[in-house]
A and B are shown apart, each in its own frame.
Chain A
Amino acid sequence: MSATAERILTTTRARVIAVERETHDTFTLTVAPADGAAFEPFQPGQFSMLYVFGVGELPISISGDPAEAERLVYTVRSVGQATHALVSRKPGELIGVRGPFGTSWPVKEARGKDVLIVAGGIGLAPLRPVVYHVLRNRDDYVRLILLYGARSPRDLLYRKQLAEWGRAPDTQVLVTVDYGGLSWRGHVGVVTTLFRQLRLHPAETAAFICGPEIMMRYVIRMLEARGLAPQDIHLSMERNMKCGAGFCGHCQMGPYFVCKDGPVFSYRQMQPWLDVHEL
């Protein structure tokens, strides 16, 4: 086996430091290296393969601060046996980590521009590292605009941080829910309805989108209607992944392997494949 393949396929043991409840079904795990060696640095948008010993391995986006190399943070929605097992880990227990894998949000190329983030549901998790990066390197960017939609108020991730980010200079955070009760006094409507409150400078904006694929398609239509070019729109795709490194072909999408060539793609790359049925 080549050294590269060995590195890709070798699981590193990590110790769970904390498991925090974000919503009724979503949790944030923080892990640290269990064997002394540091984790490989990651870029915003990359993911790891997390192994719950005896249960299974899952691709999970890294949702923490890229500048904090001594630990890795993952936000996981408990929707099946493996994710339930993952979020049920207790501090001190071990899991396996492979990666980081995949492409990243082009934060360097976005320097000097407005950064527009559009997230839906748990799609905010892979974009949180971008927010950390922009806020940490504030002078490199102009405006930071975050549009975030969730199913209901109880499904909103990182509520405290959303409020904090909204108070940062030159930062606009607009949050909406599809349905709200009487106690919710914020915006109600799908995430695309937030665009009416925006003034975009299309030639000076880099847009990063993550959420359900249908949502991303509608967001792209709104962005194109406002003059953004396909190369300035980036999205994170999801497909079933197994190896995480382009060996197995489970996540093939047209000519791409989402795990290796993605998960972050420019819309220019994805344009021919987004509307293809059963791809």
Chain B
Amino acid sequence: MAVEIKMPALSPTMTEGRLSKWLIKAGDSVRSGDVIAEIETDKATMEVEAVEEGIVGEITVAEGSEGVAVGAVIARLLEEGETALPEEEDAVAQSSTLAPSEQVLPADLAMVEADATPGSVLPLPPDPDWNGATKTQTVREALRDAMAEEMRNDDRVFVMGEEVAEYQGAYKVSQGLLEEFSDKRVIDTPITEHGFAGLGVGAAFGELLPVIEFMTFNFSMQAIDQIINSAAKTLYMSGGQMGCPIVFRGPNGAASRVAAQHSQCYASWYAHCPGLKVVSPWSAADAKGLLKSAIRDPNPVIFLENEVMYGQSFDVPEHEDWVVPIGKAKVVRPGSDVTITAFSIMVGKALEAAEQLAAEGIESEVIDLRTIRPLDTEMIVESVKKTSRLISCEEGFPYAGIGSELAVQMMEQAFDYLDAPVMRVTGKDVPMPYAANLEKLALPQADDIVAAGRQACYRT
């Protein structure tokens, strides 16, 4: 029986990749540890090593194949004594949801790696803010362009964080910046969140415009004293003398299978504190326009991205200076029966839910909050006046979450318009589990929003 070599997953969120190069051919003998192929994700090319010994019987996925699913058989090794292969199989067509093959392991798989999901281009309603030409870009590229444009505009802007320069960003968000702007303005730090967050605050006091990247916002807890006590409060404590124009940015919330310490949403944490602005975009156009606004903002801005979204493509306006104002939400789907608010990755799930609800005759108005603080309550209230129902979606914990805030805001500002209690669709009130089935259960899904939609409209 031949040993199957399967397409490996090279990051927690990778589902497929490009087989860019074979370094072996049929008939070669392979020993464990030999590099046999190169696989390209949308952020890196990685080498794959053989784990078992044998003679290469056949290559089942040709060099240059795109979109090879994780788990698909890409080659077969002959076992001792075997001389020919059993019947042919079309391995490329064979897609598997199984874990990556044990036969191959990536040669150098860092613990934190970018997703390789090219992602589908989501069908988007036309952007009311833009009627001009657009280009398709991933969220990752849009964020990079935003930083590059602002760095060209103002030489006080610099980017600092772990692996932002030579490595090109742990998630490749800062790709190419080092080359264009040199190591004076694109600075790799030691692993020292508390220290470089504080250093960034000092640089902002010193009239520079720092963009501080956290490899994930989970690590910002190491630095939260500097963010809250130094960045957010100093303007007030100085009677208005000491502004702190700084952006703290990086992926927030759950990625995939990285468990409790790497999967938390910090929207509610940072939104709690006066003195900070908190932004969390979903689309690439908003990611670009809002990051540019954040860099120009004279206040400290927490910019919450999402790892799973980095590879998603959207239409981005072709405009030399596309800026989206902080503090403005956006109706991404108009509707009359129920208002659904969401931010970041949950917007996609809310739109998915809205489709399903529409099939059942419930028209949802989906609002992308985009900014968590200051919250565009005016837009939400206007929508609730029309629909009389509100469902708040977020990936974070329910307790004292953004949904809790929205519920109170609606009681204060739209009580007479409500025909149903405000509902929350949130992550479960548990640390994020590792097991795939439990993780899925812990995260809010489109189906949960659909169920809430039915309940809000009394269609149970």
Q: Are A and B a genuine interacting pair, yes or no? A: no
